[in-house]
Structure 1
């Protein structure tokens, strides 16, 4: 706990929020497939645009932000960063604070980077199972735990939502007997979902009628904008409830900070969607 609070103070996160955290190390012993020694994630020298970027995550951590007036639902947040870094404040802590205000207990996932996509999926599956197994601690209903992600975190959320039945690691405790399927999912300016032939759906994203309902938001001027379009089309074809919002401008990597019309639009739209998606 002390290490996490010190890290948050270093990167400028409100220490009142930090004091609420209950860091959970996903892997109590060896991290599956990881060869590097466990260590606290490193903050990169690049702090441009007031974004704190973490890298060298070898000991994946789930940081918990309990809602003061919880509604029984929780959301695991996957920050983006091209699977190279984690934009931990922009697409993690700031989003957790927003969700808390809406009554959702938030969990910010520090998944493995850089360039450890297979490990990241293991981390996301494990995180979902741990939260589900300990739901009573935060007064959550196990069937009301969802996931959301930004950019590469959106990719990870989509992978978790479509590969929850894929066994990516050897079970280590009771939590691993539980489902890794998110109850609902939200992808905000997601990336890497159109890596199939002719920019079609990425083959590993196996969508069927059991895929959780999704909220998608992207813009036409985002280089990765096609990802949201092909995902929405695939979900529609599979008759999975999906809500897509596609704006003209906004770019990429804006989180929910003021001054960008897309950043100001998606939280309002998602708040409304959550009221119907979380039943």
Structure 2
């Protein structure tokens, strides 16, 4: 997909053309994606519809970017949320779990930064990298997300943001990416690149929506490379019990946060499956955005800083 077309999709879904910035000044660090052609929408006419509508399956992303959607100034609360779309580390569900989420966050007063992280990386596998920080398939996306957090803080003054209210949100594989970014905090997965990396790469809060990657499939416990501490920020979880991605990906991390006395809120619905984004259906799980908005308010994350 050509960049101009991507801007068109963003403008269509979020109501305003985003600010677009490459994440890296040169080639990204860590493992490269394995594109098979140019970046483009890989959706096929026969693909499953979500709430009766097609989705954009953005593939072959080798140039990671951040697409920044700023809310109207009269509505802005000074907070920001980075959004990591899902797609199995193969594609990005660009509108369903990206630009549509940005539009919703803007209605709540948050700036939204949709992270176009590199894909496909799924073929790199689930083995940990040499440092033990991340599975290889999620290492590049983790680096991209951490870099986006630092860049957002570096632009906080320009974009009218409170650098202490920079959160992250992710769906499915994007939930794994956002969760890794949250768990690792200041433990950066790459060597600092420039002055922007002097800014913290640790999110101040996280929303993990039907995330993957946290439960050890053999033991049913939290994966050993995930070290939860009391210094982690508050986390909000949503998942359905009948999701083919095991809902224990939420419950094991929630339990670890509870034991570490980190504020967390968990919503497990009986029915809902996977990959619904925030498109409403008759299923109660698709009313999670209202619960998330209540949580953001309860945690005081949507309050404007005193002048």
Length-normalised TM-score, structure 2: 0.84
Deviation at 1:195, TM superposition (A): 2.1
CA distance in 1, matches of 2:210, 2:196: 31
Q: Secondary structure at the match of 1:149?
A: strand
Greater relative contact order: 1 or 2 (C-alpha under 8 angstroms, separation 6 or more)? 2
Q: Secondary structure at the match of 1:75?
A: strand
1:94-119 deviation line (CA, Å, top 9, x unaligned):
11101101101101001111124111
User: Aligned residue pairs: how many?
Assistant: 276
CA distance in 2, matches of 1:67, 1:237: 36
**After the TM superposition, which residues 166-205 of structure 1 pair with which residues of structure 2 at under 5 Å, given as runs?**
166-195=187-216, 197-205=218-226
Name 1:112's counterpart in structure 2: 118
CA distance in 1, matches of 2:218, 2:184: 20
CA distance in 2, matches of 1:40, 1:269: 39
| CA contact 2:145–2:181 (8 Å) conserved in 1 | yes
Name 1:236's counterpart in structure 2: 258
Name 1:214's counterpart in structure 2: 235
Cα 1:51–1:16 shift into 2, 3 Å: closer
Name 1:6's counterpart in structure 2: 5
| CA contact 2:61–2:117 (8 Å) conserved in 1 | yes
Cα 1:163–1:220 shift into 2, 3 Å: same
Name 1:78's counterpart in structure 2: 84
Length-normalised TM-score, structure 1: 0.92
Cα 1:274–1:198 shift into 2, 3 Å: same
Deviation at 1:15, TM superposition (A): 3.4
Residue segments in structure 2 that go unaligned for 5+ positions in a row: 122-136
CA distance in 2, matches of 1:114, 1:250: 26
| CA contact 2:84–2:115 (8 Å) conserved in 1 | yes
Q: Secondary structure at the match of 1:199?
A: coil
Name 1:30's counterpart in structure 2: 27
CA distance in 2, matches of 1:244, 1:138: 31
Match of 2:42 among 41, 44, 47: 44
More helix by share: 1
Deviation at 1:164, TM superposition (A): 2.5
Deviation at 1:46, TM superposition (A): 3.0
Deviation at 1:166, TM superposition (A): 2.3
Residue segments in structure 1 that go unaligned for 5+ positions in a row: none
1:100-156 deviation line (CA, Å, top 9, x unaligned):
011011010011111241111110110000001111111000000100001111111
Residues 1:259 and 2:265 are matched in the alignment: no
Q: Secondary structure at the match of 1:142?
A: coil
Cα 1:251–1:37 shift into 2, 3 Å: closer
Computed over aligned residues only, the root mean square deviation of the Cα atoms, in angstroms, reads 2.2
Deviation at 1:41, TM superposition (A): 2.8
